Amino acid sequence: MTELRSAPHERLGVSVESIMLNVVLALLPIALFSIWLYGLSALALLITSVVVCLATERVFNRLSGQSSTLSDWSAMITGILLALVLPPSFPLWMTAVAAVVAMGLGKILFGGLGMNVFNPALVGRAFVQAAFPSAIATWVPSYAPNRFHEFIPTTLTQPLMIPPDITAWVKAVSADAFTGATPLAMWKFQHQLTAPEDLILGIATASVGETSAMLILVCGLYLALRGMLDWRIPVGMMGSAVILASAFHLYNPDFFPPPVFVLLSGGLMLGAMFMATDMATSPVTPLAVWTYAILIGVVTVLIRYFGGLSEGVMYAILFGNALAPLLDRSLPTRVFGRRKPWRVGS
């Protein structure tokens, strides 16, 4: 029997599900390492985030009369990513709020997987950043001695209530002078640089999954080598950030940090590897992809250096997401046989 079909005729044989499953696998080492660093609280954070994301998707599926879309693994990815960009001490009820907003507002209301404009995990993160600015800026030290026996006090805050003050708890568990600030905030507000090896190994204070730059790099490389993420995005994003940071550093080495610091600190690595590369929210044509990636890198550095916040990766990626459809439309690939757009005359 002859089958008539329109293009594309050649298929890669890779389904959405298998790509998503591989992203989950690539995220697992980062998640496991974060549990090693922060113990029970990180575990509870991850479980809450994933469970609420899956449940939200299921509820919306039912409300809209669709069949379940849980099996495509994408809700799982959003759940893991969301937990990875929250601080380890984040109360679980706020995590649940972030997860509902991430899935509901960030994804389902747009029509589900592939239709969303913004990265769902970052929508959730941006919402709780605006809603609970103090809780999301509360940091705890890694390797707390009792991390596998007890929760960080703020983790189990009663729903809708203010998390308790953890200054005393932090003092009790941290051996050396723990400042309660991320490396970026320390640079920005106290002008102290964190050693690069701390950033690479994940000793520095950070969100659950931003800790080890090296681990994130390895996990991202796995996806890139399997062709499951567009390598142009991390390369363009990190490259542009490093080049811009180098220029600033050369201009005034006393004030601006070295480019290695910019590359390894905060969420740049995680954002470049797992957030900006989200297939639904990044552009398609090569030129648009490069523009998108470079733009995110530049905006990140500008927010970090000149904005009110110490970290800018989240807003930079959301900004890039918003521009992605426009970039695709204004920077299309040249149709074979068509004249180059910049050539005039016959």
Partner 1 sequence: MKPGEHTLTAFENFMEGIWKQNPVFVMVLGMCPTLAVTVSAINALGMGLATTFVLVFSCLLVSVIRNWVPKEVRIATYIVIIASFVTVVDYAIQALSLGLYEALGAFIQLIVVNCIILGRAEAHASKHPPLTAVVNALGMGIGFTIGLFALGGVREIFGTGTLFGISLFGPGFQPWIVMLLPPGGFFVLGGWLLLFAWWKMRKEAKDGA
Q: Find the length of the chain.
A: 346
- Contact (CB, 8 A) for 113 and 280: yes
Our CB check for partner 1 shows the closer of 161 and 335 to be 161
- Contact (CB, 8 A) for 297 and 305: no
- Contact (CB, 8 A) for 86 and 207: yes
Q: Is 59 in the site for partner 1 (CB under 8 A)?
A: no
Compute the radius of gyration of the chain from its Cα atoms: 21
Query: In this chain, which stretch among 35-43, 132-140, 246-254, 309-317 interacts with partner 1, using CB under 8 A?
Result: 132-140
Our CB check for partner 1 shows the closer of 132 and 274 to be 132
- Non-local (6+) Cβ contacts of 339 within 8 A are none
Site string for partner 1, 219-248 (x = CB under 8 A): ------------------------------
Question: Which residue from 161, 177, 335, 344 is in contact with partner 1, where contact means CB under 8 A?
Answer: 161
Q: Is 158 in the site for partner 1 (CB under 8 A)?
A: yes
Query: In this chain, which stretch among 51-59, 128-136, 217-225, 241-249 interacts with partner 1, using CB under 8 A?
Result: 128-136
Q: Is 133 in the site for partner 1 (CB under 8 A)?
A: yes
Q: Is 130 in the site for partner 1 (CB under 8 A)?
A: yes
**How is 240-305 classified by DSSP, letter by letter?**
HHHHHHHHHHHH-TTTSPPHHHHHHSTTHHHIIIIITT-TTTS--SHHHHHHHHHHHHHHHHHHHH
Cα–Cα nearest to 45, from 103, 93, 104, 77: 93
Query: In this chain, which stretch among 48-56, 153-161, 280-288, 317-325 interacts with partner 1, using CB under 8 A?
Result: 153-161
Q: Is 36 in the site for partner 1 (CB under 8 A)?
A: no
Site string for partner 1, 75-114 (x = CB under 8 A): -------------------x----------x---x-----
Q: Is 7 in the site for partner 1 (CB under 8 A)?
A: no
3-state secondary structure of 33: helix
Q: Is 163 in the site for partner 1 (CB under 8 A)?
A: yes
Cβ-based neighbour number of residue 148 at 10 Å: 12
Q: Is 132 in the site for partner 1 (CB under 8 A)?
A: yes
Q: Residue 142: what residue type?
A: S
Q: Is 318 in the site for partner 1 (CB under 8 A)?
A: no
Question: Which residue from 135, 262, 264, 289 is in contact with partner 1, where contact means CB under 8 A?
Answer: 135
Question: Which residue from 127, 143, 151, 222 is in contact with partner 1, where contact means CB under 8 A?
Answer: 127
Going 178 to 184 to 189 to 194, the CA torsion angle's sign is positive
Question: Which residue from 162, 168, 195, 250 is in contact with partner 1, where contact means CB under 8 A?
Answer: 162
- Non-local (6+) Cβ contacts of 74 within 8 A are 16, 20, 107, 113
User: What's the token pair of residue 195?
Assistant: 């050693």
**Which residue, chain included where needed, has tokens 């080049």?**
243
Give residues in contact with partner 1 (CB under 8 A).
94, 105, 109, 127, 130-133, 135, 157-158, 160-163
